[in-house]
């Protein structure tokens, strides 16, 4: 490109020089050595290496070269031939560190070609400039190339390093080290993937912690009645001549513990079913008949405890669930109320409010300490372990209620009543019409 630029500038300058010479010869009707020499004498110094002026046949009349002058000879350079044919000619080449440029133009008199002017320039200065420019460009390109290469290597190393840190974290978590986190700084996409992975690992760890706690709580709960049974059987077996009365008492205790074991396993099975995600298709359930049936059953328990169990209900409370689920929710909450209120009154109410079916179970028992309120729906969580156990509780009832209600889009909450006691409120989305079961 730079060579071409030089070629073009040479063409302009050479041709204008040649035009100046042609102009100084333009008044002549015929060219000969004398009048050409006289005309050329007034042409300013052009800096050209050689100038030739020929007549119409190509015979040299004027030559600036002193040694080996071509005056008197016929010189038929391609450019001179072109000029004698009436055309301007120019050629330029770059070889061995020099520009060689040739330009020629015809000399006319009354539209007749009477000769030609030929100029030749041998230029090493511009060639040196060009070479300097080219080698500078080459050096700059090399430096830029090396910088780009180094920068892309640095970038790719940083990227590879981040990816390998992420991969290590994935591997560690996959092998069970749930507490391992990917530490990737920055705000690029890989750092974002790292953050997403970390929050995934957080969830995994929470789930894993909950699973571990559940397994250890469950085995602890199962171990307690089993240990009691072993203790009681050992006492019976190791005591010679144990009286009938004591033996009966011990066997009755064994029976109670066994009953408790079966309650816990039943509750655990129920929770496992809820966890498995396999849910029965919901149907439209009319809550009132289910409530009435549950109340008939619970009134026997209330009688036994000397509690007064009352209920009020509206008709047309329909929910999308199954009959068994609704029954279980009502009986678990009523059973708790009777269990913890020790002979106090228990009121159950069912009504429809703002598109929801609201069931509330209120008692006048001890209530629940505010600090424990958010936790009582957790598995095996009990406010007073000894009291719950003595009352035959498993610590799973409320979590079964909560899971059962939530899977159908409902909510359950516990609160303390002013004047003492607690109230549990379940809200199901109300169902419209259908054949209620």
Q: Which of residues 318-337 bind ligand ADP (CB under 6 A)?
A: 336-337
> At its nearest, how many Å lie between ligand ADP and the CB of residue 328?
12
Out of 115, 194, 365, 410, the only residue in the binding site for ligand ADP (CB under 6 A) is 365
394 binding ligand ADP? (CB under 6 A): yes
Contact 290, 357 (CB under 8 A): no
Identify the three-state secondary structure at position 41. helix
Give the span between the Cα atoms of 327 and 25, in whole angstroms. 125
Residue given tokens 């080459």 in the structure block: 138
CA distance 372 to 395: 13
Q: Is 344 in the site for ligand ADP (CB under 6 A)?
A: no
Q: Is 90 helix (H, G, I), strand (E, B) or coil?
A: strand
Of 79-87, 144-152, 272-280, 391-399, the window that binds ligand ADP (rule: CB under 6 A) is 391-399
* 290 vs 368, beta carbon nearer ligand ADP: 368
Q: Which of 114, 350, 398, 412 binds ligand ADP (CB under 6 A)?
A: 398
Among 106, 393, 404, 412, binds ligand ADP (CB under 6 A): 393
Quote the crossing angle between the two packed helices 244-276 and 189-238, to the nearest 10°: 160
Residue nearest to ligand ADP (CB): 393
240 φ/ψ angles, rounded to the nearest 5 degrees: -75, 145
Could you tell me the smallest distance in angstroms from the CB atom of residue 336 to ligand ADP?
Answer: 4
How much is the CA Rg of the chain, to the nearest whole Å? 55
| 30 sits in which H/E element | none
Long-range interactions of 77-80: CB distance < 8 A, separation 24+: 77/102, 77/104, 77/118, 79/103, 79/104, 79/118, 80/52, 80/54, 80/104, 80/116, 80/118
Among 101, 307, 388, 404, binds ligand ADP (CB under 6 A): 388
**H or E element: which one contains 350?**
strand 346-353
Q: Which lies closer to ligand ADP via its Cβ, residue 31 or residue 271?
A: 271
Which region among 39-47, 51-59, 229-237, 376-384 touches ligand ADP (by CB under 6 A)? 376-384
Judged by CB under 6 A, the residue of 62, 77, 311, 340 near ligand ADP is: 340
Q: How far is the CB of 361 from ligand ADP (least distance, A)?
A: 7
Smallest distance, Å, CB 286 to ligand ADP? Answer: 26
Distance CA 382, CA 396 (A): 9
**Region of 41-49, 72-80, 351-359, 397-405 interacting with ligand ADP (CB under 6 A):** 397-405
What does the alpha-carbon distance between residue 103 and residue 78 come to, in Å, rounded to a whole number? Answer: 10
- Please identify, among the stretches 30-38, 109-117, 348-356, 386-394, the one whose residues bind ligand ADP according to the rule CB under 6 A: 386-394
Stretch that binds ligand ADP, among 130-138, 147-155, 197-205, 383-391 (CB under 6 A): 383-391
In terms of CB distance, is 204 or 391 closer to ligand ADP? 391
Q: Which helix (H) or strand (E) holds 236?
A: helix 189-238
Under 8 Å CB-to-CB from 37, ≥6 apart: which residues?
A: 62
Residue 376 interacts with ligand ADP (CB under 6 A): yes or no: yes
* Cβ 396 to ligand ADP shortest distance, Å: 6
What's the closest the beta carbon of residue 283 comes to ligand ADP, in angstroms? 26
Question: How many other CB atoms are found less than 10 A from the CB of residue 22?
Answer: 21
Environment class of 97 (CB within 10 Å of its CB; exposed 0-12, middle 13-18, buried 19+): exposed
**Count of residues that interact with ligand ADP, criterion CB under 6 A:** 21
Provide the minimum distance between the beta carbon of 312 and ligand ADP in the complex, in angstroms, as a whole number: 18
Q: Binding residue for ligand ADP (CB under 6 A) from 115, 225, 344, 397?
A: 397
Which residue in 256, 383, 415, 436 binds ligand ADP (CB under 6 A)?
383
Spatial CA neighbour of 359 closest among 407, 396, 327, 393? 327
Considering only 15, 105, 331, 422, the residue that binds ligand ADP (CB under 6 A) is: 422
Binding residues for ligand ADP, rule: CB under 6 A, are 336-337, 340, 363, 365-366, 368, 376, 381-384, 388, 393-399, 422
């Amino acid at each position: 490109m730079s060579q071409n630029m030089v070629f073009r500038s040479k063409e302009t300058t050479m041709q204008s020089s040649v035009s100046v010479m042609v102009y100084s010869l333009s008044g002549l009707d015929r060219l000969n050595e004398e009048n050409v020499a006289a005309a050329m004498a007034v042409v300013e110094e052009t800096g050209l290496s050689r100038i030739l002026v020929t007549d119409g046949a190509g015979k040299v009349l004027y030559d600036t070269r002193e040694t080996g002058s071509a005056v008197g000879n016929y010189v038929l350079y391609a450019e001179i031939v072109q000029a004698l044919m009436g055309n301007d000619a120019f050629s330029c080449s770059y070889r061995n560190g020099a520009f060689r440029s040739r330009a020629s133009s015809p000399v006319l008199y009354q539209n007749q070609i009477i000769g030609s002017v030929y100029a030749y320039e041998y230029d090493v200065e511009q060639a040196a400039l060009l070479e300097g420019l080219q080698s500078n460009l080459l050096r700059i390109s090399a430096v830029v190339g090396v910088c780009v290469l180094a920068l892309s290597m640095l970038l790719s190393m940083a990227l590879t390093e981040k990816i390998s840190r992420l991969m290590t974290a994935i591997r560690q978590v996959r092998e069970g080290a749930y507490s391992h986190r990917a530490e990737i700084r920055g705000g690029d996409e890989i750092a974002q993937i790292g953050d997403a992975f970390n929050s995934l690992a957080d969830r995994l760890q929470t789930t894993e912690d909950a699973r571990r706690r559940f397994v250890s709580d469950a085995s602890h709960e199962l171990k307690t009645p089993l240990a009691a049974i072993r203790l009681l059987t050992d006492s019976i077996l190791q005591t010679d001549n144990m009286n009938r009365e004591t033996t009966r008492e011990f066997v009755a205790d064994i029976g109670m513990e066994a009953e408790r074991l079966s309650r816990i396993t039943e509750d655990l099975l129920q929770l496992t079913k809820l966890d498995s995600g396999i849910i029965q298709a919901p149907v439209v359930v009319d809550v009132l008949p289910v409530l009435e049936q549950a109340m008939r059953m619970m009134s026997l328990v209330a009688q036994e405890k000397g509690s007064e169990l009352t209920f009020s209900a509206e008709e047309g409370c329909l929910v999308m669930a199954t009959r068994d689920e609704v029954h279980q929710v009502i009986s678990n909450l009523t059973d708790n109320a009777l269990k913890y209120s020790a002979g106090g009154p228990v009121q159950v109410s069912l009504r429809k409010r703002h598109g929801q079916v609201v069931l509330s179970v209120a008692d006048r028992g001890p209530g629940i300490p505010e600090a424990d309120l958010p936790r009582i729906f957790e598995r095996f969580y009990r406010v007073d372990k000894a009291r719950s156990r003595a009352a035959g509780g498993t610590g799973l009832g409320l979590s079964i209620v909560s899971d059962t209600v939530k899977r159908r889009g409902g909510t359950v909450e516990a609160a303390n009543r002013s004047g003492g006691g607690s109230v549990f409120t379940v809200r199901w989305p109300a169902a419209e019409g259908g054949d209620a079961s």
